[in-house]
Amino acid sequence: SQQGEEDPQALSIQEGENATMNCSYKTSINNLQWYRQNSGRGLVHLILIRSNEREKHSGRLRVTLDTSKKSSSLLITASRAADTASYFCATVFRRGYQKVTFGIGTKLQVIP
Amino acid sequence: NAGVTQTPKFQVLKTGQSMTLQCAQDMNHEYMSWYRQDPGMGLRLIHYSVGAGITDQGEVPNGYNVSRSTTEDFPLRLLSAAPSQTSVYFCASSYSLALSQETQYFGPGTRLLVL
């Protein structure tokens, strides 16, 4: 079964607004990553947050991680039409070999 | 660098046919993996490899074989295609298992339709 579950599954906002997506997971992790997928394309890595970190920023992206609640959030500030895409969280667990598990994604639509 | 390349981009198969999806990377990455993406299911790991000669099963390995004879190539073989294998297949690679090297780079995907 999937480790990560994104919430909401779909989100529609106006350009300029902030978009928040959440990810919950079930087991211990080494790190959590967020990826973006434009329609018909492969996934592109956005940001990685380690299990001992609580918050990380990259440009207009802000990621938080709460290991006690086994959850993470991705905030995109001042959204643009070009941010329209699906966003996935991926949990990484390493015991011997690395296992990366993806959630089902949040489909974000930013309306110009 | 070309990054991660996949061929073919599209393929239509009949039930029972076999085929190989090709994946190659030119970044000298140790870790390579195959995922399938289905609507409402996210990405599910099929097989992965931590280096040449080493492969292991992921979440949904049945019906698929892999091999890793070189660092660069990681082909995925469908032995006898079934309609349930209709999906979009993504290959990904990352540099190593060491900390700060886990970012995965994805190929553009192969769309497979099994009739």
The predicted-structure confidence for A52-95, as pLDDT tens digits, reads as follows: 999 999 999 999 999 999 999 999 999 999 999 999 999 887 76
How many CB atoms neighbour CB B18 within 10 A?
A: 11
- Peptide bond between residue B8 and the one before it cis (omega within 30 degrees of 0): yes
Q: Which residue of B has its CA nearest to A42?
A: B108
Cβ contact, residue pair B56, A97, below 8 Å:
yes
Residue with tokens 């609507």: B39
Distance from CA of A2 to the nearest CA of B (A): 8
pLDDT score for B65:
97
Assess contact for B22 and B6: CB atoms under 8 A: yes
pLDDT score for A30:
86
Sign of CA dihedral A78, A36, B38, B12: positive
pLDDT score for A2:
42
Q: What pLDDT digit, counting tens, does each position of A10-31 carry?
A: 999 999 999 999 999 988 888 8
Residue A97 has pLDDT above 70, yes or no: no
Cβ contact, residue pair B45, A100, below 8 Å:
yes
Mean pLDDT of B77-106: 86
Distance from CA of B3 to the nearest CA of A (A): 12
B27 Cβ contact list (under 8 Å, min separation 6) = B1, B3, B4, B93, B95, B105
**Of the candidates B31, B49, B28, the residue with the CA atom closest to the CA atom of residue B96:** B31
Residue A1 has pLDDT above 80, yes or no: no
pLDDT score for B68:
96
Q: What is the DSSP letter of B73?
A: B
Q: What pLDDT digit, counting tens, does each position of B12-47 carry?
A: 999 999 999 999 999 999 889 999 999 877 889 899
Q: Name the 3-class secondary structure at B38.
A: strand
Residues of B in contact with A100 (CB under 8 A): 33, 45, 102, 104
Residue A105 has pLDDT above 50, yes or no: yes
B102 Cβ contact list (under 8 Å, min separation 6) = A30, A31, A33, A48, A92, A98, A100, B94
pLDDT > 90 fraction of chain B, expressed in percent and rounded: 75
pLDDT score for B80:
96
pLDDT-based confidence at residue A3 (cuts at 50, 70, 90): low
Q: Which residue of B has its CA nearest to A90?
A: B43
